[in-house]
Amino acid sequence: MNAITDIPSVSNTLASRAMLISLSISNWSGRKLDRKVTEEVNTSRGAASDAGRYNKQLLPKEALDAIHKKAGAIRNEFYARTLPWMDDGQRIMAANAFLAHSQWFANQRTGYDKLVEDFLKEYPDFVEQAKLNLKDMFNATDYPPVDVLRQKFGIEITVLNVPNSEDFRVSISEAQADQIRTQIEAKVTEASQNAVKDVYRRITESLTRMVERLNNYKPGNRVERAQGVFRNSLVENIRDLIEVMPALNITGDPELDRLAERLKDVTIYDANVLKTNANKRKDTAQEAQAILDSMSAFVA
């Protein structure tokens, strides 16, 4: 009998329900090593030639700030919408959420590309400003032409199938094939378990923070200022988590679907209501704690 028939095939389940996805963002740093200045500094200080390195900032700091901040925000949101997968930088998400994810990504790329084009329009002016800032350290060869510079910016996603223990072709014995299938299945199972744990970790951290903040909050009065102040992000972070949970439920776990519904009960009121209404604050904290207690078997 084929050994693989004795193994519950997590990889088969994930192959039909999930996909691996990676994000690639390339940016121009706007910095460059100045070997001449590096040598001058090290020599003047009597230091070894490799004691330090002097990197010039080729453009005014604000020139690339918007692009770099946008890239960071896209990467953070991408991580929020996906789950970790093994150790190669790939992420995993539910296949049925990919359409919404693609629409989100298209919007993000449009915004990113616009910032790049805005920067390129101002690039000649930034170079002129750099001449004033860098003085003798200015070197025109450090600055690529606009067409070349445009190619240094980019944002893409790559999608791959989840490895399937039965989907490989190799000329080896059946016993060796079974061994490879077992190894693939074990790796996929471990990775999927870790991915699901990450969902429960996010829920646990958000609810724990909510319980602590709501229970520790004390309204201010004419004499004393409010203590344990919290912001609306306390609620918004959970709302954001609920929104992406369909993409994170890679195994179709009904328990995660139920949790997503229960989480809505702690996001009914925004921060202003929770600060001013003690009963609603107490009820929300108790519901958050009740959800945490019901999750104990899943996060142990």
Q: State the DSSP string of 146-177.
A: HHHHHTT-EEEEEEEPPP-TT----SS-HHHH
Residue 58: what pLDDT? 93
Residue 5: what pLDDT? 38
Residue 61: what pLDDT? 86
42 or 27, which is more confident: 27
DSSP 21-75: EEEEEE----EEE-HHHHHHHHHHTT--TTS---EEE-S-THHHHHHHHHHHHHH
Separation of alpha carbons 42 and 139, rounded Å? 21
Q: How confident is the model at residue 173 (pLDDT cuts 50, 70, 90)?
A: low
Cα 207 to its chain centre, rounded Å, is 20
Cα 250 to its chain centre, rounded Å, is 17
Longest dimension (CA), the chain: 82
Indicate whether 33 belongs to any domain: yes
41 or 84, which is more confident: 84
Residues 181 and 142 grouped into a single domain? no
Separation of alpha carbons 2 and 14, rounded Å? 21
Residues 197 and 235 grouped into a single domain? yes
77 or 166, which is more confident: 77
Domain count, the chain: 2
Statement: residue 4 has pLDDT above 70: no
Residues 88 and 219 grouped into a single domain? no
* Least confident among 28-37, 93-102, 237-246: 28-37
Packing angle, helices 254-263 and 278-294, rounded to 10: 170
Residues 7 and 133 grouped into a single domain? yes
Which tens digits make up the pLDDT trace of 237-296?
Answer: 999 999 999 999 998 889 899 999 999 999 999 999 999 999 999 999 999 999 999 987
Statement: residue 77 has pLDDT above 90: yes
Residues 194 and 107 grouped into a single domain? no
Separation of alpha carbons 45 and 146, rounded Å? 38
Is there a contact between 93 and 84 (Cβ–Cβ < 8 Å)?
A: no
| Domain boundary residue, one of 107, 125, 160 | 160
Separation of alpha carbons 51 and 188, rounded Å? 46
Q: How confident is the model at residue 32 (pLDDT cuts 50, 70, 90)?
A: confident
Residues 193 and 131 grouped into a single domain? no
8-state DSSP, 240: H
Residues 206 and 112 grouped into a single domain? no
Highest mean pLDDT pick, 46-60, 110-124, 151-165: 110-124
Q: How confident is the model at residue 78 (pLDDT cuts 50, 70, 90)?
A: very high
Average pLDDT for the chain: 86
Indicate whether 171 belongs to any domain: no
Residue 8: what pLDDT? 46
Indicate whether 247 belongs to any domain: yes
Q: How confident is the model at residue 298 (pLDDT cuts 50, 70, 90)?
A: low
Indicate whether 165 belongs to any domain: no
Residues 76 and 123 grouped into a single domain? yes
Ramachandran class of 172: left when φ > 0, alpha when ψ lies in -120 to 50, beta otherwise: beta
Q: How confident is the model at residue 69 (pLDDT cuts 50, 70, 90)?
A: very high
Which tens digits make up the pLDDT trace of 190-234?
Answer: 888 888 899 999 999 999 999 999 999 998 887 788 888 899 999
Residues 68 and 181 grouped into a single domain? no
Q: What are phi and psi of 218, to 5 degrees?
A: -130, 115
Tell me the pTM.
0.79
Q: How confident is the model at residue 7 (pLDDT cuts 50, 70, 90)?
A: very low
Separation of alpha carbons 213 and 226, rounded Å? 12
| Domain boundary residue, one of 99, 133, 160 | 160
Residues 73 and 190 grouped into a single domain? no
Indicate whether 138 belongs to any domain: yes
Which helix (H) or strand (E) segment holds residue 187: the answer is: helix 174-216
Separation of alpha carbons 257 and 1, rounded Å? 37
The percentage of the chain sitting over the pLDDT mark of 70, rounded to a whole number, equals 89
Domain around 182 = 176-299
Statement: residue 3 has pLDDT above 60: no
Separation of alpha carbons 105 and 78, rounded Å? 9
